[in-house]
Amino acid sequence: MSDVNNQTYDVIVVGAGPVGENVADRTSAAGLSTVIVESELVGGECSYWACEPSKALLRPALLYAEAARLPGVATAVTGPLDVRAVLKHRDHMAADWNDKGQVDWLASAGIDLIRGHGQLDGVKQVTVRTPDGGTVRLQARHAVAVCTGTRAALPPLPGLDMLRPWTSREATSAQEVPGRLAILGAGVVAVEMATAWRALGSEVTLIARDSRLLARVEPFAAELVADRLRAAGVDLRLDSGITAAERAGGPDDSVHLTLKDGSRIVADELLLATGRAPRTDDIGMETVGLTSGDWLATDDSFTVTAVEGEWLYAVGDVNHRALLTHQGKYQARIAGAVIADRAAGRDLDTAPWGRHTGTADLRAVPQVVFTDPEIAAVGLTTEDAARAGRTVDVVDYEIGGVAGAQQHDPDYRGQARVLIDPERQVIVGATFAGAGVAELLHSATIAVTGEIPLDRLWHAVPSFPTISEVWLRLLETYRDQRQPRTEPKS
């Protein structure tokens, strides 16, 4: 690549994860010269330390658990998982932590890449510290997009440096199965990694500060996951916490934990899965009047609201709207279109993407928790509705009553719930918990996002025998709740 030590581009993107790549792709496709800055691997957290490797670890665990419950297959499932094969597949899904493929894609899309640590350096300016100690100064004609994502937020444990704890990165990239794994946390990372490493042979203790797992999902779904974790042999310590921790060092090198109730745990590794923090603590926020380490608040076009001039954008996790890769890519498509339209002088109110700007990451966010059982949810939960003071009708159905579910497991355990706005007669939230429910989620997302009236959903006929037949059962249950049947007269 040519010398870019002092170059001007139409658009500068800081961060080459899936979000930054999508912003750059949209602006480059619109004819804007675009450069992307990355200090680590092109492809970002999702490709190498989150979505891809974690699901590669979880898929064998979930498939094994489901097969072990299916007649005719259960007796053929003998012995433990092939750990070496699972880890090899995980390495493949993480591209062996080599970003050549992503770098080649950037080049094919006409996007320049500068490796190094990028920092804002005033209006429309970014300074990059390169790995060889050099400095690259970039000027944007139109926009700078901050797509730096998040990092693990570590709790204030004494002697944290000496503990050498795992974060989500170590949990998804470890090359050996720890004999004993302690996990602090109750969210998605905690339960998914407990599921995966227990299936691979670890003795897992999960320590949660709350009295339940997965505080942001429907309680019935969290309870199903807790039950299955216990059945798999995970030691759940709910309503607890760590009051003291130390690593022994020496040949043993184990981690010794004291819990809130005074009990002690010894583990080979400690995973801290206690949330995420924005990667904005060293990106020059102060040079444009912002506070280092803060989340970046935006409007629905993903323009940073605290900076004048409509040139600075924050896209993906860093804006704290919806910390999910697919939502960040959705934001990126919008932000890229906004940047292109503004650069061309087009009126945003009449732009092709129009009034739909940024709405799906506020009221219709889909997410799958890849545990046993899976949890798939979109839109409001009952607790969300209560906090917002919204009246909703709650409709529940046991998924095991659907013939398609019984094909998975004659003793299928799972539940579906939809929340219905009684005035508008549209679905505003849906949660499914059970084996194979992840593939139900997009239909629910379309129903919520499209605000499809229930009287039209009746005509979306599910195939038999599939789990999607639960949609028909939910609608029938709601009909019966509103209009109880009467027995025919003899």
The pLDDT score that the predictor gives to residue 311 is 98
Q: Which of 60, 267, 48, 80 is nearest to 178 (CA)?
A: 267
Under a CB-based contact definition with an 8 Å cutoff, are residues 214 and 227 in contact? no
Angle, helices 18-29 vs 325-343, to 10°: value is: 30
HSE of 24, CA atoms in CB hemisphere, 13 A: 31
CA distance 297 to 307: 10
Q: Set out the domains of the chain in order of their start, with CATH numbers.
A: 6-43+99-151+277-360 (3.50.50.60), 160-274 (3.50.50.60), 373-482 (3.30.390.30)
Cβ-based neighbour number of residue 81 at 10 Å: 15
Asked whether residue 410 carries a pLDDT value surpassing 80, the answer given is: yes
Q: Which residues pair with 36 in a beta bridge?
A: 13, 113
- How confident is the model over 417-435, as a mean pLDDT? 97
pLDDT score for 490: 45
Cβ–Cβ < 8 Å for 267, 255: yes
B/e letters for 257-294, b = 16+ CB within 10 Å, e = fewer, are: bebeeeeebebbbbbbbbebebbbeebbbebbebeeee
What region does 44 belong to: left with phi over 0, alpha with psi -120 to 50, or beta? left
Long-range interactions of 440-446: CB distance < 8 A, separation 24+: 440/376, 440/416, 440/467, 440/468, 440/470, 440/471, 441/366, 441/368, 441/376, 441/377, 441/378, 442/366, 443/468, 443/471, 444/366, 444/376, 444/378, 444/379, 444/418, 445/364, 445/366, 445/378
CA 153 to chain centre: 15
- Single-letter amino acid code for the residue at 429: G
Using the predicted structure, report yes or no on whether residue 488 has a pLDDT greater than 90.
no
Q: Which long-range contacts (CB under 8 A, 24 or more apart) does 259-263 make?
A: 259/207, 263/237
Give start and end residues of each alpha helix (H) in 261-324.
Answer: none
d(CA 47, CA 213): 26
The CA-based angle 248-250-251, given to 5 degrees, is 110
286-319 pLDDT, tens digit per residue, is 999 999 999 999 999 999 999 999 999 999 999 9
pLDDT of residue 2: 43
Reply yes or no on whether the pLDDT at 348 is more than 90. no
The arithmetic mean of pLDDT across residues 147-160, rounded, is 91
Neighbouring C-beta atoms of residue 481, cutoff 10 Å: 12
Residues 6+ apart with CB under 8 A from 72: none
- Which distant-in-sequence residues (6+ apart) come within 8 Å of 251 by Cβ? none
Answer whether 0.85 is exceeded by the pTM.
yes
pLDDT per position as a tens digit, 350-376: 666 544 466 677 789 999 999 999 999
CA angle centred on 372, ends 202 and 476, rounded to 5°: 175
Distances in Å between the alpha carbon of 1 and those of 117, 138, 270, 312, 326? 18, 15, 43, 26, 31
| Arithmetic mean of pLDDT, 208-222 | 96
